[in-house]
Amino acid sequence: MALLEVTNLGISFGGLRAVDDFSVSIEKGALYGLIGPNGAGKTTVFYMLTGVYQPTVGTFALDGENLTGKTPLEISHKGIARTFQNIRLFNKMTVLDNVKIGLHNHVKYNVLDGIMRLPAYFRDEQKLNEDAKRLLEVFDLYGEKDYLASNLPYGKQRKLEIARALATAPKLLLLDEPAAGMNPNETAELMDTIRFVRDEFDMTILLIEHDMKLVSGICEEITVLNFGQVLAQGKPAEVLSDPKVIVAYLGE
């Protein structure tokens, strides 16, 4: 059984069909790419998979469980996390606290415990601190744990965003144009980071990306969207040499 099974997913805004009949099957542990020209519907797919948009038609299931129609919070708890093209950190909070926000997905103490500062609160908060520090060590960010997130260099901000997403303990990680705004050296380091995340955390990754060097360098399979519809699917070398795909990107 695939970890993510998307069947005939579609959504309309007014009379416009933004995504139409989108299907994909992604195995556990895969590193999968979703590509296409600007406006092809890629980020709209991510919004549907995270519950921000409700599909007009179709279904999607994670690990055999149908999540269609669930709220973003429910989907997060079931195991889907994402990052954004434009990095969305809590810039006025520390690096450590940004990761702890992701870890709060799993706290057991209740509101009363927190207000009264009961033992359950301190026990869970101590574990959150320990788990957050371990994640920061993994991403070589421990030395900056007390920095404001806004004071990190761009490449480290991207790492922090991925670390925060992983703090929610997802089964599936969605990366939306992770290389956006990066120079070639940062992109090469990002490729290593994505491979590391997949291997170290036994993670399944679906990424949107325009950098074809990154896509062909790390993705095992890709799907191409164009005008909201699947144009091609398969191995990167075959798909990227498909005349239909070349026309979609470059024109006639």
Per-residue pLDDT of the chain in tens (252 residues, 90 and over written 9): 799 999 999 999 988 899 999 999 999 999 999 999 988 999 999 999 999 999 999 999 999 999 999 999 999 999 999 998 888 898 999 999 999 888 876 656 555 555 656 565 656 677 788 888 988 998 999 999 999 999 999 989 999 999 999 998 899 999 999 998 888 888 899 999 999 999 989 999 999 999 989 999 999 999 999 999 999 999 999 999 999 999 988 665
Nearest CA among 234, 232, 8 for reference residue 249: 232
Per-residue pLDDT at 182:
86
Per-residue pLDDT at 31:
97
CATH 3.40.50.300 spans which residues of the chain? 4-79+170-250
Per-residue pLDDT at 234:
95
Q: Tell me the CATH number for domain 4-79+170-250.
A: 3.40.50.300
Per-residue pLDDT at 129:
82
Per-residue pLDDT at 145:
93
Indicate the pTM of the whole model: 0.88
Per-residue pLDDT at 109:
56
**Contact call for residues 77 and 55 (beta carbons, < 8 A):** no
User: What is the Cα–Cα distance from 234 to 203, expressed in whole angstroms?
Assistant: 20
- List, as own/partner pairs, every contact residues 199-202 make where C-beta atoms lie below 8 angstroms and the sequence separation is at least 24, other chains included: 200/138, 201/166, 202/29
Per-residue pLDDT at 132:
87
36, 162, 172 from 1: Cα distances, Å: 27, 26, 15
Three-point CA angle 235, 237, 239, nearest 5°: 65
Q: Which two tokens stand for residue 34?
A: 């979703």
The residues with which 80 forms a beta bridge, in sequence order, are 172
